[in-house]
Structure 1
Amino acid sequence: MSSYRRFPWLFILPSLVGFFAFNAGPILISLVLSFTQWDVFDPLNLSAVVDSWVGLENYREMARDPVLHKAFWNTLYYVLVAVPLEIFISLMVALGLNRDFPGVKIVRTLYLLPTVTSVVAVGLLWRWVLNPYVGPVNLFLRWSGQQLEALFGFFGLAAPALVHWLATQGPGWLSDERWAMPGIILAAVWAGIGFRMLIFLAGLQNIDKTYYEAASLDGAGPWQQFWNVTLPLLSPTVFLNTLLALIGGFQVFGLIYVMTGGGPLDATNVLLFYLYQKAFGIFPPDMGYASAIAWLLFAFLFALTVVQWQLRKRWVWEEA
């Protein structure tokens, strides 16, 4: 192997060493445990594995588990709403910050702050923000509803039911089965925009300005430049951001744990949180079933990544 070919391996060598030293073993052990009903209070050795071996029973149980099914659909709901919102908003923010104006560096830093903030702090902040009684979101919604009611009353009209609901009650957010997941999504999108924006910004600044100059000479306006220059040249970055956001979406855990604990009535119970419940939230822990859930999630994400990788050829523009 030439020195040119060896050079990239030097960059990933620390990660490879860390993976094989600290991750490969637990991954293989979890695969073995997924075929057992191993008691965590027993020593983990060959005898314990053989005694607790159940074959594919844990995987068959997943097909019969209604809570797991609900957790899967909750996860899918979260991903299908949160990921497009996060990608779209972060792209719009990156486009707005991809220019020079006074204080641009400060604004970029402010957008990045939620990204570097502890997920516990973010969760606690949004629990207060979405408090149905004293949270600023509902206080604003109630004030808006009251103003609209007064406006309808001024003209002698009865306020619509939606306006009356906003003025007197508003969403229950984290305490309401219907509104809990939208509340989680709001917090997750707010916390994730900064990181996605940073990746988009790097991609935008990597686009050669001569493309825009040529497009302007051909009479292309800002909108045409975006669709015919920016978006095609940014498509590899969009693909990367979307792939990372999808994988991260299926692994959402921290905000769920801090904000709702999977409730109310399992409305925010997602796959990773249900895995945690099975492994550490019940007594005795069902480590075998939790390991099976982990491998189900891995298989699903692997298949999703392969499909995305194949589809990228249809819409990702790559320079020769």
Structure 2
Amino acid sequence: MDIKVVLLGLGVMGRNHLRVLTMLKGVNLVGIYDTDDSLLKKLSSDYNVPSITNIERSLEEADAVVIATPTNTHYHLFKLCSKYVKNIFIEKPIAESYEEALEIKNIANNNNIFVQCGFIERFNPVVLELKNIISSENTINADFTRTNKLSNRITDVDVVLDLMIHDIDLALYFNGEINKIAAFGKIENNQIAFASAILHHTNGALSRIVASRMTEKKMRYIHVTTDNLFIDAELLRKEILIHKQTSISQENGSSYVISSIEQQIEVKQQEALLSELQAFINASKGIIGNNIPGEDAALNSLKVCEDIVKEIKNA
């Protein structure tokens, strides 16, 4: 039986959700909604899906909903959707504040609602492969770099909640909870436009994260240092290189010879959003995967974001 889905929000990310949802087997997109009537009319016609004028009436028919509206609407829309629907996908960040996120978690737990937060990088094939590699290693440090000048089009959240939150989630996903944070940044037009943070995990690992709306070059890198490896992961080109030092030798008083090896890991070219929404649809059918970021992941990452923002603004 097809899962009946309602999509709320048709901005840049919402249109990507629309494209993928109309491709997915087992999905019946029963309605789309946006406050921009002309955009709503155009996309309804282009994709041959019904437009919504009454959100509550459409939710009565739905099995699941995708919320891809501006961040400041997430909390109120979740509360509305939770009265009708048991499967709710919310784009990141899950809410504007930790307090709102905590209430979302409580509502979800009390009403047996499945919540998935839109941490799309969890489904990036590079991240999936990297997680497998480091699961058998002792991680010393992980460096995350994420820049995008075009991200300054987003005006409702700063660079920490827009870009850095992805890597905060990955840092928690890789190395668990954090016991110490140091953060620095640059404020532009009353919003944090550049942020750098060092996170100390309770397992002893460090995560160093840089996020920027001021850098002209778009970058998505993860560099991981373990006891045995240096791993260079490029999320845009979907490449992983592993560097190993194999031996140091010296013969008859000559110069030292350092033998090292570089391995390139094959990464499947799978669209992360497609995998993310497939996971949500499966979860809506009761098949919940291990790496799905639920309300706990959303809550934990948002708490770290707020701590980082506080450090930068109080510096």
Same-fold call, TM cutoff 0.5? no
Higher RCO (Cα < 8 Å, 6 or more apart): 1
State the structure with more CA Rg: 1
Larger helix fraction of residues: 1
The TM tier, using the shorter chain, reads under 0.3
Larger strand fraction of residues: 2
- Normalising by the residue count of structure 1, what TM-score does the alignment of the two structures yield? 0.24
- Normalising by the residue count of structure 2, what TM-score does the alignment of the two structures yield? 0.25
